[in-house]
Amino acid sequence: MLTVCIRYAFDKMEAEDILQDAFIKVYKNISKFKHEGSFEGWIRRIVVNTALKHCSKRKLHFEEMKPDSGMDRVVDPQAYQHLSETDLLKLIHGLPEGYRIVFNLYVIEGYSHDEIASMLNIQESTSRSQLVKARRFLQNEVLKLQKSIAI
Amino acid sequence: MKEESFESYIKEKLEQYDSGAPMHVWERIKKEKEERKYGFFFWKRYGWFLILAPIVMGVGYFLNRSFSDTTAVPVASVPSHPESTHTSKQVLSIPNQQTVSEKSVTVPIHEATEHGVAEPSTDPKIGAGVEHIASGTSSPKGDAVTYNPVLHEPKRTVQKVKPSVQWSHNQKPQAERQNLQISQTSFDGAAFKLGYWRHENKYVNTFQIHPLQPSVKTLLPGCAPLRTGRNDLYLEVYAGPDYSIRNFSSATRPINYVTQRMSVENNRMGYSVGVRISKSMGERTLMKTGVNYSQINEQMKLVTEKEKRLTQIISIRIVVRAPGDTLRVRDTSYFEQTGTNYRTTYNRFRFVDVPVLFTYEFGNQDRISFALNAGLVFNIVSFYKGEVLDTSFLPVPITTREGKGVNNWRSNIGYGFYAGLTIQKYVSPNLNAFAEPYIRYNVTPVSQNDSYIQQRYSVFGLQLGVRYNLFANRQR
């Protein structure tokens, strides 16, 4: 669960704080768990919600997508298949905060744009645009990595 | 790069990836949890004391004050009217050196420029008047007057004596003592403190009764004893609904077990009935004891999915064959059904207790009055009926046997704390109706010490009943 927190947090210290708060919530609300889903999933939801609460304290800034976004570059799967989990985490952590949170929620946690919009209190279109920008940012970063390795 | 493949690659890599939290994080979590738990634990275990302590202290204070008040009951506070033509019904007279007192009261006298007539109280509650006043010496104009309180035998009747004296501080003390007269009255072992204070530029006489030592009482013939303190004995009968709160605790922290128990067991409204005897201790304080029966109800709804039921079908048929003989054919078949089993059990936790309560009453006894109750409730016997889940989540009956199982319960849960507020409505001179919301905190769990889990109940309830004064006819 610490990895989940790291993906949302500003740094590792904050991630640990999030994890601590989240587990205290888990202990406190353990009686509310209804055995309807997996226990891990329930804890994960608490962790994500706690992380979002922490992020909201920092006043998230979501940038709207610019019209000249350009076309997506084509990246060979071999360019990212060698990346380890740590590398991927670093890449994600390099994203601007708004992008990162939407990307985490949509891609890794599996929330829909509708759900993300309600969770973050933003427009659904904002969520979509943030995802597109995050995606493009990551593609560029992967390509940069590929080039540096080639050199 | 296809977005889906890149994203699915990230999802696949990171969704289940866990680098593991360092130990210090878990230590921090554990520490915070313990702190919170301790805080909650402290409140759960000792919070009741914090609630009860002020109540008990308050009762103790009023009890003490109530006893103290009997030593100084203000009798009258009557302005002195110098132009008065002595119309008071009861006028003090001071027999000169009539009796000897063990006490003496020193009362400051302010400067007097006007005459005042001492008018003792005619309040029926305190016995219709004044009986005697102390003999002693007095000095006018700001000096102190020292009175030796005189003891008298209680007497109901009042001898109204024609007022004959205007008591003036300008007069000589000797003359006062000779001229002042007295009306006999009915205070049991009481003497008066006589004083003056300035009220709206007039001098006011005040009288106070002081109980005196019984050893110096002086008997007066023909004086019936008068009620001096409350001497009531009440019988209370009540019944009402209870709502219980259940707390689990365990050294092993079986979270799954507790969660399962809480998900299948639901609290239901309980009730309590009882009889109490209340004996007055002071004017406003009582002590109560009696027998209380209470029952906590729970419903356990256990749903077992994929429950299999095997049914055996035996069919017998008689076959008549051609030769005319009959053949009895018996076919046996089985079929299995799979479904959901709903099992509902009603658990009953019953307690027989003896409450010992201290009560402080206030308010208007003739209309609506209130009482604070606090004390201990001692359990005499507890008995239970029903089922609980064992550690394998199967229902087992509740018993009171010894052991380490989850279904081992105490037959006596010791003592608990009780606090309540009674609202009483006057019905008749002998009868009051009352409603008493209360809290009861049981110190000891209902389960055995070495049980898998400790289960304790706290009860909030409302007792509705009537109170009958058994001594009413005797007193009035």
> Taking residues B362-369, what's their average pLDDT?
85
Residue B55 placed within a domain: yes
What would you measure as the largest C-alpha separation in chain B, in angstroms? 147
Q: What are the pLDDT digits (tens) for B235-283?
A: 999 999 999 998 888 777 677 888 888 888 888 999 999 999 999 888 8
Among B11, B21, B259, beta carbon nearest to A33: B259
Of B154, B182, B216, the one marking the end of a domain is B216
Residues B154 and B178 in one domain: yes
In a domain, B431, yes or no: yes
A86-101 core/surface letters (b: 16 or more CB in 10 A; e: else) = eebbebbeebebbbbb
Positions in chain A whose pLDDT score sits under 50:
67-68
User: For testing the chain A interface, which of B1, B18, B41 should be mutated: the one with the most A CBs within 10 Å?
Assistant: B1
The residue ranking higher by pLDDT, B420 or B142, is B420
Q: Give the pLDDT band of residue B118 (cuts 50, 70, 90).
A: very low
Which of A38, A59, A80 corresponds to the end of one domain?
A: A59
Residues A53 and A69 reside in one and the same domain: no
- Write the CATH number for B365: 2.40.160.20
**What pLDDT was estimated at residue B7?**
77
Q: Kindly state whether residue B31 falls inside one of the protein's structural domains.
A: no
Which residues lie closer than 8 Å to B465 by C-beta, 6 or more apart? B236, B237, B238, B239, B240, B433, B434, B436
Interface contact A32, partner B, CB < 8 A: no
What is the number of structural domains in chain A?
Answer: 2
Least confident of A105-119, B101-115, B298-312: B101-115
With beta carbons less than 8 A apart as the criterion, state whether B236 and B474 touch. Answer: no
- A109 and A130 assigned to the same domain: yes
Q: Which residue of B has its CA nearest to A2?
A: B21
pLDDT at B239: 96
Residues A132 and A147 in one domain: yes
Domain containing residue A48: 1-59
- Of B313, B312, B306, the C-alpha closest to B338 is B306
Last-in-domain residue among B164, B190, B216? B216
pLDDT top residue among B154 and B469: B469
Please state, in angstroms and rounded to a whole number, the distance separating the CA atoms of residues B432 and B435: 10
Q: How far apart are CA A86 and CA A145, in angstroms?
A: 14
Task: Please tell me whether residues B118 and B199 are part of one structural domain.
Answer: yes
Task: Verify that A95 and A148 share a domain, yes or no.
Answer: yes
Residue A70: how many other CB atoms lie within 10 Å: 7
CATH of the domain at A46: 1.10.1740.10
- DSSP conformation class of A31: G
In a shared domain, residues B80 and B204: yes
pLDDT band at B405 (very low <50, low <70, confident <90, very high): low
Residue B306 near residue B338 (C-beta atoms within 8 A): yes
Structural domain includes residue B287: yes
Q: Is B204 exposed, middle or buried (0-12, 13-18, 19+ CB in 10 A)?
A: middle
Based on the domain organization, do A54 and A67 belong to the same domain?
A: no
Name the closest residue on chain B to residue A74, using Cα atoms. Answer: B1
Find the chain B residues whose C-beta atoms sit closer than 8 A to any C-beta of A.
1, 3, 5-7, 9-11, 13-15, 17-22, 25, 28-29, 32-33, 36, 255, 258-260, 262-263
Distance from C-alpha of A4 to C-alpha of B130, rounded to nearest angstrom: 88
Model confidence at B35: pLDDT above 80: no
How many separate domains does chain B show?
2
Same domain, A72 and A145: yes
Same domain, B77 and B57: no
CA distance B10 to chain A (A): 7
Both A33 and A79 in one domain: the answer is no
Judged by DSSP in three states, A34 sits in coil
Domain-embedded: residue B369? yes
For residues B259 and B389, membership in a common domain is answered with yes
* Domain co-membership, B270 together with B138: no
Dmax over Cα atoms in chain A, in whole Å? 56
| A70 and A139 fall within a common domain | yes
What string of DSSP letters covers A72-89?
PPP--THHHHT--HHHHH
Beta carbons of B147 and B105 less than 8 angstroms apart: yes
Sort out which chain B residues have CB atoms less than 8 A from A83's CB and list them. Answer: 13
Strands (E) across chain A are located at none
Supply the pLDDT for residue B234.
92
State percent of chain B over pLDDT 70: 55
Percentage of chain B exceeding pLDDT 90: 22
Tell me the range of A14-18, A94-98, B62-66, B462-466 where mean pLDDT is highest.
B462-466
Higher per-residue pLDDT: B372 or A150: B372
Element counts in chain A: helices (H) and strands (E): 8, 0
Whole-number average pLDDT of chain B: 69
Please check whether residues B363 and B412 belong to one and the same domain. yes
A26 plus A77 within the same structural domain: no
Same domain, A73 and A51: no
Between A24-28, B235-239, B304-308, B325-329, the lowest mean confidence (pLDDT) is in B304-308
Lowest mean pLDDT across A44-53, B29-38, B112-121 = B112-121
Q: Are B151 and B192 in contact (CB under 8 A)?
A: no
Q: What pLDDT was estimated at residue B106? A: 39
* Same domain assignment for residues A89 and A150: yes
CATH of the domain at A105: 1.10.10.10
Q: Contact A50/A18 with Cβ under 8 angstroms?
A: yes
Residues A47 and A73 both lie in one domain: no
pLDDT tens-place string over residues B179-234: 444 444 444 444 444 444 444 444 444 444 444 444 444 444 544 445 456 778 99
Taking each helix axis from N to C end, the angle separating A113-120 and A39-57, rounded to the nearest 10 degrees, works out to: 50
Decide which of B195 and B464 is more confident. Answer: B464
Question: Which residues span the domain enclosing B259?
Answer: 48-65+229-302+345-475
ipTM (interface predicted TM): 0.74
Q: Is residue B281 part of a domain?
A: yes
Residue with structure tokens 């010791």?
A: B414
CA torsion through residues B32, B33, B34, B35, sign: positive
Domain boundary among A39, A59, A79: A59
List Cα–Cα distances, B214 to B187, B219, B305, in angstroms: 13, 11, 81
Burial of B216 per CB tally in 10 Å (0-12, 13-18, 19+)? middle
B4 falls within a domain: no
pLDDT score of B38: 57
Residue B473 belongs to what H/E stretch?
helix B472-475
User: Do B121 and B238 reside in the same domain of the chain?
Assistant: no
- Same domain (yes/no): B195, B104: yes
Q: How far apart are CA B251 and CA B246, in angstroms?
A: 17
- What pLDDT is recorded for position B206? 42
Cβ atoms B465, B432 nearer than 8 A: no
Residue B379's pLDDT is 93
- Picking from B216, B248, B266, the residue at the C-terminal end of a domain is B216
Q: What pLDDT, on the 0 to 100 scale, is given for residue B198?
A: 43
Using left for φ > 0, alpha for ψ between -120 and 50, and beta otherwise, residue B393 falls in left
| Cα–Cα distance measured from residue B288 to residue B353, given in angstroms and rounded to the nearest whole number | 13
Mean pLDDT along residues B103-123: 41
B190: in domain = yes
Q: Give the A:B interface size as CB pairs under 8 Å.
A: 87
